[in-house]
Amino acid sequence: MDELADELDALQRQKNQGRGVDCVRTLMVYLRAGDIEGAKAVRRNEGDKISSYPDIVALLDAKLK
């Protein structure tokens, strides 16, 4: 899951004039800890915020099932 976290990190750093996306950083913490269910819970709970970033949503849809 570190690979997915790295990909998400690269994408989120480009958002919000370089400030990134806080909820995606939270999701990455769970991924790096190996807690897939925790990462999925963050995605569900923060889905309204994450949905503003279609490229991040596409990556999560493809790799976090």
Cβ neighbours, 10 Å, residue 42: 21
- How far, in Å, CA of 26 to CA of 53, rounded? 15
Percent of the chain with pLDDT over 90: 95
Reading the block at residue 10, the tokens are 């690269």
Q: Is the pLDDT of residue 65 over 90?
A: no
- How far, in Å, CA of 30 to CA of 54, rounded? 21
Please classify residue 21 by burial: count the beta carbons closer than 10 Å to its beta carbon, then call 0-12 exposed, 13-18 middle and 19+ buried: buried
Read off the pTM: 0.92
Q: How many domains does the chain have?
A: 1
What are 16-43's pLDDT values in tens digits? 999 999 999 999 999 999 999 999 999 9
- Domain assignment of residue 24, given as a range: 2-63
